[in-house]
Structure 1
Amino acid sequence: MREGLPMARAGQTVGLLGGSFDPPHAGHVNITRQALRRFGLDQVWWLVSPGNPLKSHGPAPLEDRLAACRRLMQHPRVRITDFEARAGTRYTAETIVALRLAYPGVRFVWLMGADNLAQFHRWQQWRWIMRTVPVGVLARPGDRLVARTSKAAQVFEGARLSGRASQLLAYAEAPAWCFINVPMVDLSSTAIRAQGNWG
């Protein structure tokens, strides 16, 4: 059974962690807990996507991934949702538009690992995303330097908040982004699939 759409009130701050979660793992849990604390968020929503347009192979069935996420991420301020499947969106920019229409007054922050910032310029309408919602970037093993020197980081260098100002991110006007270092959990869904530990 799919979980219903998450609830949020106008004025609340909600971090959005999108991905295929194929499978979800302790690294996702780690950055979620760190984002709640470091960015001062009221909630974090895991947007479990039907598929990733940048990946050539489709993920495991959505219902299986949703169930795995619910088993792994148990926190009173974290919601697991199939919003993208319900809204019929495929790209992050489309999802942000749909979320802002569905939840007027909610302050959304897009969350990503540093590995995603490194290739963010490949995302559809990535400049629009940066200019529309604040972005919180959480460092993962081996990705810090390449993320900080990425095209997106260079183009929007003037919009970067210091790590000490991370609590202000959700209330900043976009473009605004913040890069924080967090305790490392060196896991990836790709490595887990390669080891045959999923699906």
Structure 2
Amino acid sequence: MNKKIKIGVLGGSFDPAHKGHLAISKEAKKRFNLKKIIWAITKKNPLKIESKTSLLKRTQNCKKIIGLNSFIKVKFYENVIKSNKTIDLINHLKKNKDIEIYFLMGADNLINFHKWQKSESISKKCNIVVFDRHGYKKNSLKSKTFKKLNNKTLTFVEFKKVNISSSQLRKI
């Protein structure tokens, strides 16, 4: 049997992209032996308010942050899949039977993951890799999803955290 190609998917509005996104991408590549990582940029996160920064500007900023890390690709899928839901992106990517998906997220997202559309289906179709974020560890480890999935399809990664967030950067 052919070995599947491992890819990481980091979804978000990247408003703005920052070195924390890059740090978890590099860490995920190293720990899970990922061939490439897709930064799946969204026009609007379904659980957040719409970004004031244009998609083009956010995409350009992503590329600037990525720099020479050519294993990371910035992609916008919403025109193709006609959705901004993670499950639809995962289903679209899974059409390629040769890939194994590692869905990357910060610990803050794990807290409300059970509210995501078809979150159980997402966790069955890919490996979920949760990166510890400053101030979120306790609540994320108490979350419904962590209790249900821990050590099955979910890996909680503790590493030297970059204490930065897009919402903090927007305030600057």
With normalisation by structure 2, the TM-score equals 0.92
Equivalent position amino acid for 1:92 in 2 = T
Pick the aligned partner of 2:155 from 167, 175, 178.
178
Deviating runs (4+, > 2 A) in structure 1?
Answer: 56-59, 83-87
Take 1:27 and 1:85, find their aligned partners in 2: how far apart are those partners? Answer: 27
Structure 2 residue 86 is the aligned partner of structure 1 residue 86: no
The Cα offsets for residues 55-84 of structure 1, whole Å up to 9 and x where unpaired, read as: 123342111111110011120211111123
Deviation at 1:127, TM superposition (A): 1.1
The Cα offsets for residues 7-39 of structure 1, whole Å up to 9 and x where unpaired, read as: xxx821100000000000111111111111112
CA RMSD between the two structures: 1.7
Q: Is the 8 A contact 2:13 2:51 kept in 1?
A: no
With normalisation by structure 1, the TM-score equals 0.80
Q: How does 1:35-184 map to 2 (within 5 A)?
A: 35-74=28-67, 75-101=69-95, 103-157=96-150, 160=151, 176-184=153-161
Partner of 1:187: 164
Take 1:39 and 1:140, find their aligned partners in 2: how far apart are those partners? Answer: 19
Q: Which segments of 5 or more consecutive residues in structure 2 lack a partner in the other structure?
A: none
Take 2:171 and 2:52, find their aligned partners in 1: how far apart are those partners? Answer: 13
**How many residues end up aligned between the 2 structures?**
170
Take 1:22 and 1:150, find their aligned partners in 2: how far apart are those partners? Answer: 25
Take 1:60 and 1:127, find their aligned partners in 2: how far apart are those partners? Answer: 31
Q: Secondary structure at the match of 1:14?
A: strand
Q: Is the 8 A contact 2:108 2:136 kept in 1?
A: yes
Take 2:38 and 2:99, find their aligned partners in 1: how far apart are those partners? Answer: 13
Equivalent position amino acid for 1:84 in 2 = E
Deviation at 1:143, TM superposition (A): 1.2
Take 1:86 and 1:59, find their aligned partners in 2: how far apart are those partners? Answer: 23
